[in-house]
Amino acid sequence: MSSHDSRATTQDKHALLEDLVDANHILFNEGVLDAFGHVSVRHPEAPERFLLARNMAPGLVTRDDILEFELDGTPADADGRKVYLERFIHGEIYRARPDVMAVVHSHSPSVVPFSAVASTPLRPMCHMSGFLGEGAPIFEIRDVAGSATDLLIRDAPLGEALAHSLGDNNVVLMRGHGATVTAPSLKQAVYRAVYVEVNARLQADALRLGPVEYLTAGEARSAMETTEGQVERPWQLWKQRARQAARAATLS
């Protein structure tokens, strides 16, 4: 690798790390994450690793809090810092899905009810959520770990089971727990995590009015291609809003 290529790679990684910090702050500021939940991105130079913050509230993450992990969940550079218990969600999805470049795990409040009501699947009802395809599957932890767990993905076998439930979908719900969202880029993962919450809220509202006319598989595909082709537009808005909120909190 030439010195020019090396500098470019370093710059790309630095930019991605900055984006990962912003992703944490955006997801907190948009009400998808609170003190819990996490977002990761596949390492740009080492696809068998991923980048994820240490164990902390997403809204407080800084560049220095980002760690590297092996796909088995082993931190490469924790230096004694605590790591997220559910890091296996990320590692096992990256292992199972080479196309996935970013993962968000949240307890998004409008989404959680759909994780516990299997008779009413979470399906795309507006064009902004075409990535839901024909609906989000539900991971049932009881099927692999019995009926006395804390519902958390505490180890690699549970992460592998979750990845299996995800299959080729972009979103998997976790019964009584939350959701995990995947995407081919970090910005798309943030977009999808925000609009999973929006779709769930709209779907619950629509169901109170009567039967819902959901997007067809073809409509979902076309809508996803169109809206996610403009992902930079909401990203810049959300980033500015999150940074303004952080500055206001510092000054208050």
The token pair that represents 200 in the structure block: 């769930």
Residue type, position 49, single letter: R
Cα separations (Å) of 201 from 103, 109, 204, 236? 21, 9, 5, 23
Rounded to a whole number of angstroms, the CA Rg of the chain reads: 18
Q: Please, is 179 exposed, middle or buried when counting C-beta atoms within 10 Å of its C-beta (0-12, 13-18, 19+)?
A: buried
Question: Using CA atoms, how far apart are residues 83 and 34, in angstroms rounded to an integer?
Answer: 17
Q: Please, is 17 exposed, middle or buried when counting C-beta atoms within 10 Å of its C-beta (0-12, 13-18, 19+)?
A: middle
- Of 100, 103, 108, which is closest to residue 88 (Cα–Cα)? 103
Active-site pick, 86, 92, 197, 228: 86
The token pair that represents 43 in the structure block: 């390492």
Q: Rounded to an integer, what is the distance from CA 109 to the centroid of its chain?
A: 14
Question: Using CA atoms, how far apart are residues 249 and 252, in angstroms rounded to an integer?
Answer: 5
Q: Residue 109 gets which letter from DSSP?
A: T
CB count within 10 Å of CB 97 equals: 17
Is 86 a known active-site residue?
yes
Q: Which residues are catalytic?
A: 86
